[in-house]
Amino acid sequence: MGPVRSELMWQAVVDAVEIAGAGRLLDVLDLGGGTGGDAVHLAQLGHRVTVVDPSPDALASLHRRGIEAGLPEPVRGVQGDSGDLLDHVEPAAFDLVVCHGVLEHVDDPAQALDTVATALRPGGHASVMVAGRNAAIAARALAGDFVTAQTLLGRTAGTWDLRSMGPRRFAPAELEELLSTQGFVTVRTNGVRVFADLVPSAIVDIEPGARDALYALERELRSSSEFSALSAGLQSIARLDLPSAATPDPGGRSAAL
């Protein structure tokens, strides 16, 4: 087993695949999939994966990872972003869209989720991971930066200024609200890394059994709303509402909203 942090992040993807697929092999879009750590793992499990990312360097690493992993076919990697996604993929083509660590950076998270919804088949699922705002406030306060902590306290994802404040942070209710306004029903919101980023690595790496015990604690705490509100990462797994029978619209999703 690798570092707890990496293992927890990968298990969050596994959770989403289980909810979206119930054992089926899936068409997965990893939007902002970066260097493809998750994508290559998913392809090794037999899922059909497409990565869309604006970074050519990340896509080159994805290609290399696929070769090193001995995949029979490379993971499809496409240079693009949440703004031009539909120039690169068909609408309603995916069972699961993984969008981890991306909404913190985009100008308009609602627009990005709207695009995610368009890429999904009706009834498909999105796994959206974002950085938690409360954890960021706690980190600033514990570092003695009380002014920034107070500034973050007064901000919401909607009033966040990326240029002056850096990557956007979210409260759990904001993430769920954002998903809901784009036609999603949240299946669950988990905390990912409640304590893992706070515990000194000397404890985790040296104390016998500490790594596995921390992992088990994190996995148990992830579904507690009290603790997920403090977590460094928030993951919502959400289902795109099926279009109503009265307004069939197989290609588009406007009827579902």
Ligand X SMILES: C[S@@+](CC[C@H](N)C(=O)[O-])C[C@H]1O[C@@H](n2cnc3c(N)ncnc32)[C@H](O)[C@@H]1O
Q: Kindly list the residues in this chain that would bind ligand X in the complex (CB under 6 A).
A: 31-34, 53-55, 58, 81-82, 100-102, 105-106
CA 180 to chain centroid, in Å, comes to: 16
β-strand pairing of 76-79 with 27-31: unpaired
Q: How far is the CB of 125 from ligand X (least distance, A)?
A: 16
Q: Indicate the residue among 40 and 152 with the shorter CB distance to ligand X.
A: 40
Q: Indicate the residue among 13 and 92 with the shorter CB distance to ligand X.
A: 13
- CA distances to 19, 34, 64, 203 from 78, rounded to whole Å, are 26, 11, 14, 41
Tokens for 65, please give them.
Answer: 């990872």
CA 96, CA 201: separation in Å to the nearest integer?
A: 33
Provide the 8-state DSSP code for 174: H
Q: How far is the CB of 154 from ligand X (least distance, A)?
A: 25
Q: How far is the CB of 10 from ligand X (least distance, A)?
A: 10
DSSP string covering 68-115, please?
HTT-SSPPEEEE--TTTGGGTS-TT-EEEEEEES-TTT-S-HHHHHHH
Tokens for 63, please give them.
Answer: 């290609």
CA 118, CA 49: separation in Å to the nearest integer?
A: 17
Q: Indicate the residue among 32 and 243 with the shorter CB distance to ligand X.
A: 32
Q: Is residue 125 within 8 Å of 92, Cβ to Cβ?
A: no
CA 23, CA 78: separation in Å to the nearest integer?
A: 27
Q: Indicate the residue among 79 and 156 with the shorter CB distance to ligand X.
A: 79
CA 5, CA 240: separation in Å to the nearest integer?
A: 29
Q: How far is the CB of 22 from ligand X (least distance, A)?
A: 23
Provide the 8-state DSSP code for 239: E
Q: How far is the CB of 57 from ligand X (least distance, A)?
A: 9
Q: Indicate the residue among 85 and 92 with the shorter CB distance to ligand X.
A: 85
Q: How far is the CB of 105 from ligand X (least distance, A)?
A: 5
Q: How far is the CB of 193 from ligand X (least distance, A)?
A: 12
Q: Indicate the residue among 99 and 194 with the shorter CB distance to ligand X.
A: 99
Q: Indicate the residue among 39 and 241 with the shorter CB distance to ligand X.
A: 39
CA 176, CA 146: separation in Å to the nearest integer?
A: 28
